Structure 1
Amino acid sequence: MDYSLEQSVGFMLGLTHRKAVALLATKFKPYDITTEQFSVLFNIGKGEGVNQKEVALRVFKDQPTTARIIDLLEKKGWVERQTSEQDRRAYLLYLTTEGRTMLDNLVPIEREMNKELAEGIPEDQMEAFKHTLSLINHNL
């Protein structure tokens, strides 16, 4: 058999993803937040007044998992739920002042890690790589 799993795009993406998540998790540990929690917090901050369903779609998680993460963020005092004016059964999500401060601390860490990941790679190659990843995502 002339096939190497290490050359499989899916395998390479998975391995790279796991390594990147582990590194970011280490950097976030002092802030008592996981990468998944960060993703949800970031997406709430990006579109405040968003509902849980929309957050779940943005972070590619199912609704029960997203709800658990939101519950945890709410317990930590970083997110608050407010009843929707249009639909009294629905809740809209907002960052608290503490949640905004947390994002202000974490986003630069995430940005810096992205710089580290791209270290030594010419900018045109990174742009081509991002474009290729977008095409792969589109194919999926």
Structure 2
Amino acid sequence: MTQLFDKEQAIGHMLGLTYRKLTTLFLSRMKSYEITPEQWSVLFQIYKAEGLIQKEIAERSGRDRPTTTRILDHLEQRRLVYRKIGERDRRSFKVYITDEGKRLMEEMIPVERRLNEEVRQCVSDEELDLLRELLSRIGQHVQDISERE
């Protein structure tokens, strides 16, 4: 008889469950800022490096292009970012953060920093380094598998 697969121990299940728990906690901390974790991720990329095109923002935030476009539309409606037509390629837009977006980021970054500090209290520095290395390796391996299919 074939042994049943233990879904509870599957890497994807464990990563997904942990991700959802972290996202829920992050969302509760960000509620007063009226921004979702997905919007935060995109806004953070623009805050770090202004003048990116939408494709670069999508890649850096781990989102597909249509989702990134919808998020940018929302951030632009809230006047947190603005788009300028590219000088060399008029079909592409470069995205910049507004003063209001910068102010919001400066308020939110300490909130995220505190959350990360709280979460990492359960692991040592060495364990955290190992976790990061393992997650990077798994992520690259999954990407390699996807590219072969």
Query: Does the TM-score normalized on the shorter chain lie above 0.5?
Result: yes
Q: Would you say how many aligned residue pairs link Structure 1 and Structure 2? A: 140
Alpha-carbon distance in structure 2 between the residues aligned to 1:86 and 1:63: 21
The superposition leaves residues 38-58 of structure 1 with CA deviations (integer Å, 9 ceiling, x where unpaired) of: 000001111100011111111
- For residues 39-97 of structure 1, what are the alpha-carbon distances to aligned partners after superposition, in whole Å with 9 as ceiling and x for unaligned? 00001111100011111111222211111100100111100111211122221000000
CA RMSD of aligned residues (A): 1.1
Name the counterpart of 2:24: 22
- 93-102 or 52-61: which moved more? 52-61
What are structure 2's unaligned runs of at least 5 residues?
Answer: 143-149
Q: Verify: 1:82 aligned to 2:80, yes or no.
A: no
Give the AA of the match of 1:62. Answer: D
- TM-score when normalising by structure 2: 0.89
Q: TM-score when scaled to structure 1? A: 0.95
Q: Secondary structure at the match of 1:81?
A: strand
Whole-Å separation in 2 of the counterparts to 1:74 and 1:51: 14
In structure 2, the residue matched to 1:9 is: 11
- Between the aligned residues of both structures, percent identity stands at 41
Deviates more, 1:84-93 or 1:13-22: 84-93
The separation in 1 between residues aligned to 2:16 and 2:50, in whole angstroms, is: 31
3-state SS in 1 of match to 2:122? coil
Q: CA 1:49–1:2 in 2, change beyond 3 Å: closer, same or farther?
A: same
Corresponding residue of 2:34: 32
Distance 2:4 2:89 in 1: 58
Q: Matches of 2:124 and 2:93 in 1, distance apart?
A: 45
Partner residue in 2 for 1:45: 47
The verdict on how the C-alpha distance between 1:4 and 1:92 changes in structure 2, with shifts beyond 3 A counting, is: same
Question: Residue 137 of structure 1: CA displacement?
Answer: 0.8
- Superposed, 1:48-87 pairs within 5 Å as 48-87=50-89
Distance 1:19 1:136 in 2: 20
> C-alpha displacement at 1:2, in angstroms?
4.8
The yes-or-no answer on 1:136 pairing with 2:138 is yes
Corresponding residue number in structure 2 for 1:104: 106
Once residues 88 and 3 of structure 1 are traced to their aligned partners in structure 2, the CA distance between those partners, rounded to angstroms, is: 52
